[in-house]
Every structure is written in structure tokens, then in C-alpha cells.
A = this chain, B = another copy of it.
Amino acid sequence: MSLKGACIFGQSGGPTSVINASAYGVFSEALKNPNITRVLGAANGIKGVLNDNLYDIGQEDAFELELLKNTPSSALGSCRYKLKDPSVDDTDYKRILEIFKKYDVRYFFYNGGNDSMDTCNKVSKYLLSQGYECRVIGIPKTIDNDLFGTDHCPGFGSAAKYIATTCAEIYRDATVYDTGAITVIEAMGRNAGWLTAASALAEVSGCGPDLIYLPELPFDLDAFVVRVKKVYEEKGNCVVAISEGIKDKDGVFIAEYANKDAKADAFGHKQMGGSAAYLANCVKDATGAKVRAIEYSLMQRCAAHCASKTDVDEAVLMGAEGVRAAVAGMTDKMVAISREEGVDGYKAKVEMLPLTVVANTEKKFPLEWITEDGAGIKKDFFDYALPLIAGENPYTWEQGLPRFANLKKIKAE
């Protein structure tokens, strides 16, 4: 089972606040493992492999690597590059094999969401078909929490903490005048409502949104306006949380009403956003109220200063466990997390799942956790999510500002 060789680690897809915590987990474990002869980081994910643009992580300072635990966004750079089906065009795969042979790469760790697990799976299958021994492990990350098979995903807890904290703070601000206002706040989540649902956690601070709309249920604009108007008239204020991905009964994104000419990316996803502004205008026309649209925008995935300690710790753990599992002989797996049953409180347990099970399956927000009126979140979600936002990650400040990891990024020869 023992396999000696170099490893490559790459980061892919949209960044999170804790994606580099997983990088730290991989690097710290790989650097001390005798079976791993060299630790390489791919610049901009799989593109760094294709372009032979690899960094020699062994030459980085330990102190700077440690700072990865509070450095948001992918430190090695990211990509949204989609590998073709190898049966149609295997050019990229041949190139990957060539690079792996060049550096004697026997371990490949890829950190990303749904699309990246698919990439991982394709690379793994191709290498196997060529008889090249290499252990391939996917390390999950996504603020969207929509990865199948894992109880939750590194990145979600910190995004949820940022959203819930910010929602509580916004609620206090938006309801401060006696003249009233309607505030519509938009969270990310194209198809899954986990992040928007996290707004509900602000209720713990006494400042939960009045209404919450997830993409899991069809969105009825007329009913929405009536509902908001009613809350506004009763309370004098109304704070609404919506998902960027809300769609009408015909499956048309509300964002598309506003962004008709937005272009799709390589995976066919359109850049979302703008639903809150659109809806704020609709309720303004209907109520005459002062309205404001707010987007958490990139902040929800990069506000590392508000990261969850639980999330950071788990992200590190899952990186390290990925390395240990690979060295122990596993391949074609994703590191997943589950909850230990029968223990007091929350305790996470790491599991290894087949990549084939995980890739390209989306985990939606459970419909049974949405209140009957379709605009609220039940206690089950609080039980699920509160442990994930628990604790505040120690942040390194210098001169009142974040001190990020400063990697040398020395190109591997």
C-alpha cells in the first residue's frame, strides 16, 4: 500500500473564508509525511497543472503557512476551468499525466465544490485507465453547503456566521427610524437556500428577518408584495432575506427580470445578483415606503475576520485527513463530515465518500425545515446550523488591519 512521491494541491471554484485553512491542513500534514517527497501547489487550480505552473510549498515559511488559517480567498489562485469528457477530447488528461510523471506526482488533492469534485473524479478515472498509480482525494469547500453526502461543507459555517451576524446588525440599523423602512437583503445560493436560511439565525440576537425566501420554493411576486406590505403596515418596518436564486413558478430567476443580458460561465451558470434591488423597487411602488436593497455580495465568502472557529478547525482537519487517507491507501474519495450520534452536543466525525457519489449532485435545503407559509425557517435548522457558526476564529491584526499569509510562491523546478 505504501506509495512514495510528490503531491499536488489545487484550489478551485469560488473562494471561501476558510479555503486556505484546508490548504494549511494539507500542507502541514503533507510536509511532515515521509511518503510525500515534495509538496506542490497548483497556481489557479487544474490550470496550474496544465500550464506547469506549480509552487514549491516546502520553501514557504512555517509562520506564513500558519497564517493561511485566517487568510480568505484561494491563496494559490482559483479557476473555473471545465475538463472535457475524456472520451470526446483527452488532450487535457494527457497533459495532466505528463506533468504528474514529470514531478513524480502520486498524490493529488483538489479543493472545491460540486464542479471540482467532478474534475477530481475524471482525473482519477483517467489516471487509473492509464495504469498510472496516483491517489486522488477531493477536499470539499463551498459556502453554498450544497455538496451531497457530507453533513455540511467547510466554508458554509463562516459564511453563515457572517450572514447571521450582519443580518442582526443590519436589522438594528434598518429599523432605527420611526418613519419606517423596507429592507431586502440578498444572499448567494443559486439553487440551494442554505445561506439565505442562515439569516434566520440572527433571531438569536433578537434581530431575525421578518420574511425569508429560499430558492427551493417557487417565488410568487404578487404574494410577496402583499406579504411585505402587511408586515410593514403592522410593524412599521420590514426586513426580508431572499436568495439570489429565487425563481418564479416557470423556473425563471427573478434576477433575470433585472439582468436579461447576463452571460453564462463555462459551467452554464449565469452571474446572479440584482434580485433584491428589483424586489425593493416592486415593494416601493406598492407601499410608498423607504426601501433599501442590500447584497452580501463577495463579503459573505471572504469576510474571514468573522469566520467561525468550528468551521476553520474543521477545514484544517479535513485537509489533513485527506492527506492521511491517501497515504493510507485511499483514492477516488472525498473527505466528508458527519455528526457523531449519541454524544452530548455537537461532535464532528470525518468520513471518506466515493467521488462518484458526490460529484454533480446538489443538496438542497430540506423543504420540511421551511415554515408552512413558505417565508420562515423552523427550529430544526437552528439545531443544525448553530454548532457550525460557534466560536470566533482568532484573527491576526497588524496596525488595525488583517495580516494575511504572504507566500513566496517559488516556482517548482
Contact call A400/B302, Cβ cutoff below 8 A: no
Contact call A298/B173, Cβ cutoff below 8 A: yes
Interface residue stretch chosen among A25-33, A164-172, A217-225, A327-335: A164-172
Task: Tell me whether A320 is interfacial, beta carbon within 8 Å.
Answer: no
A164-B401, A177-B79 known; A73 vs B204 contact (CB < 8 Å): no
Task: Tell me whether A107 is interfacial, beta carbon within 8 Å.
Answer: no
Task: Tell me whether A271 is interfacial, beta carbon within 8 Å.
Answer: yes
Contact call B44/A298, Cβ cutoff below 8 A: no
**A6 CB, nearest partner CB in chain B, Å:** 23
Shortest Cβ distance from A166 into B: residue: B299
Contact call B305/A73, Cβ cutoff below 8 A: no
Query: Which listed residue, B44, B170, B305, B391, touches A165 by the CB 8 Å rule?
Result: B305
In residues 357-413 of chain A, which contact B (Cβ within 8 Å)? 386, 389-392, 395, 397-404, 406
Shortest Cβ distance from A204 into B: residue: B401
A165-B305, A176-B78, A302-B172 known; A397 vs B401 contact (CB < 8 Å): no
Q: How far is the CA of A297 from the CA of B304 in the complex (A)?
A: 19
Contact call A400/B404, Cβ cutoff below 8 A: no
Contact call A404/B207, Cβ cutoff below 8 A: yes
Task: Tell me whether A193 is interfacial, beta carbon within 8 Å.
Answer: no
Query: Which listed residue, B271, B301, B303, B392, touches A397 by the CB 8 Å rule?
Result: B392
Contact call A206/B404, Cβ cutoff below 8 A: yes
Contact call B47/A173, Cβ cutoff below 8 A: no
Q: How far is the CA of A79 from the CA of B178 in the complex (A)?
A: 7
Interface centre among A207, A391, A398, A402, by most B CB within 10 Å? A402
Contact call A403/B179, Cβ cutoff below 8 A: no
Task: Tell me whether A72 is interfacial, beta carbon within 8 Å.
Answer: yes
A80-B177, A292-B297, A297-B292 known; A73 vs B400 contact (CB < 8 Å): no
Shortest Cβ distance from A183 into B: residue: B298
Query: Which listed residue, B170, B271, B304, touches A299 by the CB 8 Å rule?
Result: B170
Contact call B205/A165, Cβ cutoff below 8 A: no
Interface size for A (C-beta < 8 A) is 64
What residues of B have a CB within 8 angstroms of the CB of A216 in the complex? Answer: none
Q: How far is the CA of A301 from the CA of B396 in the complex (A)?
A: 23
In residues 26-71 of chain A, which contact B (Cβ within 8 Å)? 43-44, 47, 71
**A360 CB, nearest partner CB in chain B, Å:** 21
Contact call A404/B271, Cβ cutoff below 8 A: no
Contact call A205/B402, Cβ cutoff below 8 A: yes
Shortest Cβ distance from A382 into B: residue: B399
**A47 CB, nearest partner CB in chain B, Å:** 6
Contact call A401/B173, Cβ cutoff below 8 A: no
Task: Tell me whether A294 is interfacial, beta carbon within 8 Å.
Answer: yes
Contact call A400/B390, Cβ cutoff below 8 A: yes
Which 7 A-B pairs give the minimum distances between C-beta atoms? A73-B172, A389-B400, A173-B302, A169-B302, A73-B173, A390-B400, A204-B401
Q: List 28 A-B contacts (CB under 8 A).
A: A15-B172, A43-B178, A71-B172, A72-B169, A72-B173, A78-B177, A79-B178, A161-B401, A164-B401, A165-B402, A166-B303, A168-B401, A168-B402, A169-B298, A169-B304, A169-B305, A169-B402, A173-B301, A173-B302, A201-B400, A201-B401, A204-B398, A294-B297, A294-B298, A299-B299, A305-B306, A392-B395, A392-B400
Interface residues, chain A, CB within 8 Å of chain B?
15, 43-44, 47, 71-74, 77-80, 161, 164-166, 168-170, 172-174, 176-179, 183, 201-202, 204-207, 271, 273, 290, 292, 294-295, 297-299, 301-306, 308, 386, 389-392, 395, 397-404, 406
